[in-house]
Structure 1
Amino acid sequence: MDKSNDVLKGAPRLGATRRHPPAPRLKGGDAPITKAPLKRARREAVARVASEGPTRWMYEAAIPFNAVTYPSFQPMIEAIGQYGVGMKGPTFHEGKNGCSIMSDGWTDRKERTLVNFLVNCSKGTMFMQSIDASSMIKMGEKMFELLDKWVEQVGEENVIQVITDNHSTKEQKGKTIANTVLMPSFWNTIVFCLKVSGPLVRVLRLVDGEKKTPMGYIYEVMNRAKDAIVRSFNGNEEKYKEIFNIIDKRWEIQLHRPLHVVGYFLNPEFFYDKPKIEHDAEIMSDLYKCILRLTRDPAKQEKVVAEVSLFTNSQGLFGNELVVRTRKTRAPG
């Protein structure tokens, strides 16, 4: 008998579909084990690590993070990814892709002011000219004309920046600063800033301090800060109205919480000296908000209200001689 026929019997027919064994399954009837999730997880991990590089570079170079929205950003990332490992970034001169016109002023032994003009590019730095600028160093317009001449000679399309280091520029800036400082409006602005910032700084010191728990004091201190600002402007609302709008907006967003109000309400140092606190609609509203948030049990809510009544009427433990004597010397907590 021809043994080749036996061999062919075990072979698949031409055009027949080869059946692969089913993928192994985990215990408990879980889905089959595949490599796709592992590859996807590895790819996501690599992407996270890769994105840390540009982010760290942007942070060190003080580049605004909204630069990632520029149309050229994503193509740059894809181009780097296509190159792969080992790509070297552009050098300082390659990044500039142009030349710089530089002027450097200095004084020689004869007390003459000399200015050197140089051109810097990726090939190096080339000296162009040195002139005696003693008669024109205080004339900013003349120095501009000299720099403009070199820009035209090199070609405006080739110049990416002009770097100057001369006496006229510094002297002009110095005069501008001196004139600004001597203006009455400058000092009026400084006084305005001090009147506004002084009370607010005291609030910040309380929040960051460790001597007293700020929760029971921040509401009162903020009120005192606003009162101090009003007094500093002699009650002229036009001078502090805009500032109060900014303070109130920031207060509502970051600092004003019902819990802060309750801390103020339950602070004996303030409550017993200010009977109006108990009749303030905003304060009482925030108090009941906190009680409702504290517990949903009606019986417990009523018990808390009863305890609050003891506090407001200075009854029970709150009327103890020692407690009364230390209302203003011990921080609540």
Structure 2
Amino acid sequence: AGATRFATNFLNLQSLHKHRQALKELFVGDVWHSNKKLSTSPVGQKVQEDVLSISFWNSVETCMKVSLPLLRVLRIVDGDEKPAMPEVMAAMDYAKERIKAAIDDKPTLVKKVIKIVEDKWESQMGVKLYGAALFLNPNRIYGLKAKPEKARYCQRLRHMFNEVLLHMEPDDDKASVISRLADDYERGEGECFSSKLAINDRTKKSPRKLLQL
């Protein structure tokens, strides 16, 4: 329901922007001004002021630029084939990058919008699981680690994995063993992760499909 409502609001905004010229012409025409009941009412005057305002249409365009990346995430989540958790996590991060790029000329607004998005995202109960799942997806994590600018992000994913590990494995000794294996996995070292076969399979095997075997 939330996804549908968000999409409907975006489509309404998109339609409004598409027909902006016709709306402007409506509020400067004789038909509008001859209807004294509407044109002279406080609400009517406010609507006329907004429709004829440049700042109003600039705000509409900004809302569309910010909403579109998030709408794409909702399409992924609400699609016929449910995505794996790492895909959702990656989609959200990509959406934030697109939002920043879309309104990079408005740094104050960027901070405000990203904070709203992150607060909503962080409030989700499974956010640490999403991060841990992304960390455990070799198709994703090794690509991220190859980019120096993603170093802090990869550290954050590892931190999420550690927190999930501590929650799911109460035995400290077993958790330490798993953590050491995770070190090998993260660095691509050890017998399991450094072999040619393991390296070749990084982008070929889906963790989701493996779990269904």
TM-score (norm 1): 0.43
**1:302 matched to which residue of 2?**
176
- In structure 2, the CA distance between the partners of 1:227 and 1:185, relative to structure 1 (3 Å rule), is same
- C-alpha contact 2:121 2:127 (8 A) present in aligned 1: no
- C-alpha contact 1:219 1:264 (8 A) present in aligned 2: yes
Q: CA deviation at 1:228?
A: 0.9
Q: CA deviation at 1:318?
A: 3.9
Residue 284 (structure 1) aligned to one of 149, 158, 171: 158
The root-mean-square deviation of aligned C-alpha atoms, in Å, is 3.3
- In structure 2, the CA distance between the partners of 1:207 and 1:298, relative to structure 1 (3 Å rule), is same
Distance in 2 (alpha carbons) for counterparts of 1:217 and 1:177: 42
| In the alignment, structure 1 residue 204 sits paired with structure 2 residue 74 | yes
TM-score (norm 2): 0.63
- C-alpha contact 1:278 1:284 (8 A) present in aligned 2: no
Q: Which is higher, the Rg of structure 1 or of structure 2?
A: 1
Q: Which amino acid aligns with 1:183?
A: S
| In the alignment, structure 1 residue 189 sits paired with structure 2 residue 56 | no
Q: Which amino acid aligns with 1:200?
A: L
Q: Of Structure 1 and Structure 2, which has the larger fraction of its residues in helix?
A: 2
Q: Which amino acid aligns with 2:159?
A: S
**1:313 matched to which residue of 2?**
187
Distance in 2 (alpha carbons) for counterparts of 1:189 and 1:255: 32
Q: Which amino acid aligns with 1:327?
A: R
Greater CA deviation, 271-280 or 226-235? 271-280
- In structure 2, the CA distance between the partners of 1:174 and 1:301, relative to structure 1 (3 Å rule), is same
- In structure 2, the CA distance between the partners of 1:139 and 1:295, relative to structure 1 (3 Å rule), is closer
SS in 2 for 1:234: coil
Q: CA deviation at 1:180?
A: 4.0
Q: CA deviation at 1:177?
A: 5.4
Distance in 2 (alpha carbons) for counterparts of 1:327 and 1:212: 22
Q: Which amino acid aligns with 2:102?
A: S
- C-alpha contact 1:195 1:232 (8 A) present in aligned 2: yes
Question: Gaps spanning 5+ residues in structure 1: where?
Answer: 1-137, 141-167
Q: CA deviation at 1:170?
A: 9.0
**2:203 matched to which residue of 1?**
328
Counterpart mapping for 1:56-75 below 5 A: none
* Equivalences, count: 169
Q: Of Structure 1 and Structure 2, which has the larger fraction of its residues in strand?
A: 1
- In structure 2, the CA distance between the partners of 1:278 and 1:244, relative to structure 1 (3 Å rule), is closer
| In the alignment, structure 1 residue 215 sits paired with structure 2 residue 85 | yes
Distance in 1 (alpha carbons) for counterparts of 2:142 and 2:101: 25
Distance in 2 (alpha carbons) for counterparts of 1:324 and 1:210: 31
Q: CA deviation at 1:301?
A: 1.2
Structure 1 residue ranges (4+ consecutive) displaced by more than 6 angstroms after TM superposition = 170-176
Distance in 1 (alpha carbons) for counterparts of 2:38 and 2:151: 65
Q: CA deviation at 1:215?
A: 0.9
- In structure 2, the CA distance between the partners of 1:188 and 1:330, relative to structure 1 (3 Å rule), is farther
| In the alignment, structure 1 residue 263 sits paired with structure 2 residue 138 | no
Q: Which amino acid aligns with 1:241?
A: K
Residue 253 (structure 1) aligned to one of 123, 126, 130: 123
- C-alpha contact 1:295 1:301 (8 A) present in aligned 2: yes
Distance in 2 (alpha carbons) for counterparts of 1:297 and 1:222: 33
Distance in 1 (alpha carbons) for counterparts of 2:92 and 2:182: 24
SS in 1 for 2:203: coil
Distance in 1 (alpha carbons) for counterparts of 2:199 and 2:155: 26
- In structure 2, the CA distance between the partners of 1:329 and 1:193, relative to structure 1 (3 Å rule), is farther
CA distances 1:77-113 after superposition (whole Å, capped 9, x unpaired): xxxxxxxxxxxxxxxxxxxxxxxxxxxxxxxxxxxxx
SS in 1 for 2:64: helix
Distance in 2 (alpha carbons) for counterparts of 1:259 and 1:320: 28
